[in-house]
Structure 1
């Protein structure tokens, strides 16, 4: 019962994060910090070690996101009409992230009692990339989240985190909303010259 109450609290703060992020409100990062702190503990207890580590990294990235949105130019501000990293830039990221995730997943499968190591690891690695893109306010972050969140629905449901799986179903709708909202704010994204 206590675990499900903590999961509910994490879920509510996670929803708050995405709604606030969709409206590009800086308070999204505080909501993310609270949610991720709770989830880090819950996922560790559920033997989703990469997800637990991911949540701990998210806490750090939330601090970076807060600072970035407050004091630095975002990718959207650096490029008139919005920001878009080139396909070449994304392919370069995939070229090193895919083998890195494979090495981590294999290591976890051999040396730990972690569950669902391949899905856990690949969603973790690409969630970090997508979160970094959010801190830059880069529009294409939302394409990553559509794929990642779809996988998370299955992963969390299969591990018994039913409320969190349902959260990610809601996330899919909110991601579509965020895409529309960000497109309204920046209707004509252009590739960043410095991005690739």
Structure 2
């Protein structure tokens, strides 16, 4: 407990700002508010610096990707007026195919990276990154099940950040799990885009 409090006390102000904006992002995204994307843009910019400094190479690259997706998400939601884009749901078999492909890709990526990078938790880093890349696309396209992916991703990410002494960020990702449940419930009450669902099938 003393070690945890010491780590928390040592949290940088920069990490604190990133955490506040990250909370704002997921809260606003759950409410389908376009202002989630500017919050994501600034937060991920900070995390690029933080993750590079604690030797999480895949997470550094992931946050560069988040920067691009924040711009893309803002463009897509603004052009289509976010509240007019219907939440869609994918059939279960499509998720099974995607999860299998993503797991295989993460395994190959982490195995390759392990031969050229000297970093702890490289496999966990790679798996979280690959699944996060995919799930962020689901958010931009308002696929309802994105929140279920985030529940799992966030729990593993929280463990990784605790291990890397990013305590405040780890706590954030534990909270993210609750936010993901909230987001899933919120998006369940939105009308389903039947046409998109049939096209996805």
Matched residue of 1:185: which SS? coil
Find the aligned partners of 2:76 and 2:127 in 1 and give their Cα distance: 26
Correspondence 1:42 to 2:56: no
Find the aligned partners of 2:152 and 2:30 in 1 and give their Cα distance: 17
**Residues 70 and 62 (structure 1), Cα distance of their counterparts in 2 relative to 1, 3 Å cut:** same
Which residue does the alignment assign to 1:130?
135
**Residues 93 and 154 (structure 1), Cα distance of their counterparts in 2 relative to 1, 3 Å cut:** same
Correspondence 1:140 to 2:148: no
Which residue does the alignment assign to 1:121?
126
Which residue does the alignment assign to 1:159?
164
TM-score of the superposition, structure 1-length normalised? 0.90
Which residue does the alignment assign to 1:4?
12
Matched residue of 1:192: which SS? helix
> Of residues 181, 190, 197 in structure 2, which corresponds to 1:192?
197
> Superposition pairs for residues 59-138 of structure 1, below 5 Å?
59-72=67-80, 77=85, 82-138=87-143
Q: Any conservation in 1 of the 2:51–2:59 contact (CA below 8 Å)?
A: yes
Which residue does the alignment assign to 2:37?
29
Deviation at 1:95, TM superposition (A): 3.4
How many residue pairs get matched? 191
Correspondence 1:18 to 2:26: yes
Residues 78-128 of structure 1: CA deviation (Å, up to 9, x unaligned)? 6xxx41112222223223322211111011111011221111000100011
Unaligned runs of 5+ in 2: 1-8
Deviation at 1:175, TM superposition (A): 1.2
Q: Any conservation in 1 of the 2:11–2:168 contact (CA below 8 Å)?
A: no
TM-score of the superposition, structure 2-length normalised? 0.88
Q: Any conservation in 2 of the 1:126–1:148 contact (CA below 8 Å)?
A: yes
**Residues 72 and 88 (structure 1), Cα distance of their counterparts in 2 relative to 1, 3 Å cut:** farther
After TM superposition, the runs of 4+ consecutive aligned structure 1 residues lying more than 3 A away are: 188-191
Find the aligned partners of 1:180 and 1:146 in 2 and give their Cα distance: 13
Find the aligned partners of 1:18 and 1:100 in 2 and give their Cα distance: 26
